[in-house]
Structure 1
Amino acid sequence: MEWKFVRLLSIGQIRPGMKLGKRIYNEEGLTLLAEGAELTVSIIRRLERLGIDILYIRDEVTDDIVLPEMVADETRREAVKQIRTVYRSMMNDKMGRMSYPHLGYSFRKMTESILDDLGSREDVLIMLGDIHTTDHYLYTHSFNVCLYTLTLGMAAGHSREDLFTLGMGSILHDIGKTRISPKVLLKPGRLTDEEFAEMKRHTELGFALLKDEPFVPLLAAHCAFQHHERLDGSGYPRGIRDGEIHDFAKWIAITDSYDAMTTNRVYRRGMLPHEAVDILYSGSCTQYDQRKLEVFRDKVALYPVGLTVRLSTGQTGVVTSVPPKTPNRPIVRVIEDEEGASVQPYEVDLSRHLSIMVSRIAEN
């Protein structure tokens, strides 16, 4: 497992001379800025233009804080690269074919690789996604949704065979978007009603692409078809209700929404995990399955490692680690007292001090 020494800061807190604590990717899975790179005025301005508003930074105060990775960097890089290659090929196909001989096999191997990597790690939590630019978000979104969904499926005790099907359904859930007009798919802003109506067709188009594909389980095709359905019938494309939606699609409905909320887009910043979880829970029993939300909540690191927080005691600290059994109550290193004065750092384990809570995210 890889570990990095970092602190998470907003782009407004970044100063020239600081060093990057975790690499930044573009949306094609390629390194945009390497870990350890020294940030200059021009680089900071470029990152702002690219829509990046938070960064992991090496920090002397927190130089022993470690950031666990959900999967190996090589697994992530190869998966996003393969998603990009296949999806681009489909987007550039002027014939509009609905069958691709190697599609199922390619994604089958990819899913197995992600599953093996996750299975080799103990007590995996859903961490804040990698920092990347806002363009061509489809590739990393597909990877993230697969990663998060498999984490939940493993926590729920699904069999290896079911996990494979769930992984295939989640990594291919948005493949129908390769059949959506690029002007709509890549529009740098909110969609009009007409454009949104076209975008919604990706569920049906995805099902049509996958249902007869060799190496793709039919249930995975139904995940692409149903992941925007909601329990109260308010979803699409068919407006079906709770009992008609497959369990796997209900998992993907949660992880798809979560990754969309926590990812930067051109027209809005990504939310922090605790903000997104609050919104998801507001849709419990109407939009999303309550029991699945409970599994999800227990597997999400609400306050990412490196985040600066204000405690209910008035003190300010940095999240140093997240206990797998209590992901909503991190270990916090206190660095400032109630008046904002620096103190000799010490750690408070919120899972042991139940009267102390994170009251808000701190801004320097």
Structure 2
Amino acid sequence: MKLVDLESVEPGQNLGRTIFSANGTVLLSAGVQLTVFMISTLKRLGVTMVYIDDPLYRDVSVEEVLSESTKRAVIQQMSESYEALRSGKSFNTKAISMTVDQLLDDVLQNEAVLVQLTDIRTADNAMYVHAMNVCMMSTLVGMNMGLNMIQLKELAIGALLHDIGKIDAPDSPDRQEGRFHHAWRGFELLKMKREYSLLSAHVAFQHHERIDGTGKPRGIAGDEIHLYAKIAAVANTYDNLLADLSEGRRILPHEALERLNAMSGTQLDRDVLVEFMRIVSVYPNGISVKLSNRQTGVVVGQHRGLPGRPIVRVIDKDGDEAVGAKEIDLAQHTTVFIDSVLV
């Protein structure tokens, strides 16, 4: 399969990856033949890029840290919890805890898989996909930093619920200070949950604090910020960058990682960033790239220790007809580099 801009998708092409709705059910299944109506609906929902089943790359798959069943469970549970809060009710803390256990099981089984964040976001599911991504990435970083299982569970719960203070009380320019900030509201809500560690509540409280003291809501700095929150801050910033449409398109992983590096030691913790860079794929499978030797191809494989040096398949063509293919492993061809990403 191949990652393409939705504007270039034509009716009759087959969807390469499942798209989930806001409540965790399947919106469109992988393999479905896209129609004009489906494409228009995806555009209306805010989708900008999708995976397409391309015959030249049908064998290309994306290894996932989380299984589809876990993703559905997390998105569904987040949807139910947020709806409860919007209705003035309490969310089910035990159900959240059990969902986190399921997520942790997947992460432990797939800790060597590079994060590629291939789930398609819509306007309806974006908040839940974001929470899931931040939780999953935070847990992977925590594992790399030597946290034990109790600590990982505390971190995972806090990361999954880090934005819970936004529910039914969105931030506005005059409500982003002190106790009005969603981080403070989230802390006040989570600290009342006796089933959870107070440290989980501090993930919500401090995930917008910055190492140099310029963050919100209290402006604390350095070691005043708990390690869990430092980890969640990096994952949160990265995922928010990928969802950013301010430039008219979604920022790509390699661009987001460059921006994270620019924040190292000032806004984001340097040691956490080092570990984060080891878990994320710079160039996800299925993305089209231009190489320094002027050839173009599609990323088809990854290297755990070298996330910036993937395997690229180059298709030889005679006119519009494919006549052959070769794979260039950038870990082996050390003089060849990815020059740009084609979208």
2:246 is the alignment partner of 1:257: no
Pick aligned residue for 1:130 from 119, 124, 140: 119
Identity of aligned residues (%): 37
Aligned counterpart, 2:106: 117
Structure 2 distance, partners of 1:201, 1:116, is 33
Could you say what secondary structure the match of 1:194 adopts?
A: coil
Structure 2 vs 1, CA of residues 264 and 286 (structure 1 numbering), >3 Å: closer, same or farther? closer
Residue pair 1:317, 1:335 contacting (<8 A) in 2 also? yes
> Which structure 2 residue ranges, 5 or more long, are not aligned?
none
Please report the TM-score for the alignment, with normalisation by the length of structure 1: 0.88
* TM-score between both structures, scaled by the size of structure 2: 0.93
**Does the aligned pair in 2 maintain the 1:315–1:336 contact within 8 Å?**
no
Following the alignment from structure 1 to structure 2, what is the Cα–Cα distance between the partners of residues 163 and 134?
Answer: 30
Q: 1:197 to 1:48 in 2, by over 3 A?
A: farther
Q: Which residue of the partner structure matches residue 151 of structure 1?
A: 140
Q: CA deviation at 1:30?
A: 2.3
Q: How many pairs does the alignment contain? A: 342
Q: Equivalent residue for 1:299?
A: 279
Match of 1:57?
52
Q: What residue number does 2:293 align with?
A: 313
The residue that corresponds to 2:5 in the other structure is: 10
Name the aligned partner's letter for residue 321 of structure 1: G
Q: 1:267 offset after TM fit, Å?
A: 8.6
How many Å apart are 1:242 and its aligned residue?
0.8
1:142 to 109, 127, 131: 131
2:65 corresponds to 1:70? yes
Over residues 295-337 of structure 1, what are the superposed CA-to-partner deviations in whole Å (9 max), with x where a residue is unaligned?
A: 1111111111001100011000110011112111100001258
* Range 116-125 or range 260-269, more displaced: 260-269
Give the letter for the 2:303 counterpart.
P
Aligned partners of 2:247, 2:264: CA distance in 1, in Å?
26
Match of 1:279 in 2: 259
| Superposed counterparts of 1:320-335, under 5 Å | 320-335=300-315
Cα offsets for 1:214-237 (capped at 9, x unmatched)? 211010011110000001111000
1:43 to 38, 44, 61: 38
Kindly state the Cα deviation for residue 43 of structure 1 after the two structures are TM-superposed: 1.8
**1:25 is matched with which residue?**
20
2:312 and 2:328 in contact (8 A); partners too: yes
Q: Does the 8 Å contact 2:245/2:251 carry over to 1?
A: no
**SS at structure 1 position matched to 2:167:** helix
Structure 1 segments unaligned to the other structure (5+ residues): 1-5, 186-190
What's the offset of the Cα at 1:347? 0.3
Map 1:94-105 onto structure 2 (within 5 A). Answer: 100=90, 103-105=92-94
| Structure 1 position 351 matched with structure 2 position 328 | no
1:179–1:205 contact (8 Å) kept in structure 2: no
Q: Which amino acid in 1 is paired with 2:181?
A: R
What is the CA distance between 1:288 and its match in structure 2? 0.4
1:51 and 1:266 in contact (8 A); partners too: no
After superposition, what is the alpha-carbon deviation per residue over 1:87-127, rounded to whole angstroms, capped at 9, x for unaligned? 1111111xxx7xx4x64322221111111111122512111
2:117–2:133 contact (8 Å) kept in structure 1: no
Query: 3-state SS of the aligned residue for 1:328?
Result: coil
Cα pair 1:126 1:151 within 8 Å, conserved? no
Q: In 1, distance between residues paired with 2:124 and 2:93?
A: 26
What residue in structure 1 maps to residue 158 of structure 2? 169
Cα-Cα RMSD: 2.3
- After TM superposition, the structure 1 stretch with the greater mean CA deviation from structure 2, 243-252 or 19-28, is 19-28
Give distance in 2, aligned partners of 1:7 and 1:77. 23
For residue 207 of structure 1, the aligned residue among 179, 187, 191 is 187
Mark the CA change 1:315 to 1:26 in structure 2 (over 3 Å): closer, same or farther.
Answer: same
Measure, in 2, the Cα distance between the counterparts of 1:306 and 1:127: 10
**Aligned pair in 2 of structure 1 residues 198, 244: CA closer, same or farther (>3 Å)?**
closer
Deviations 1:56-97 (A, max 9, x none): 11111111112212111111101110111011111111xxx7
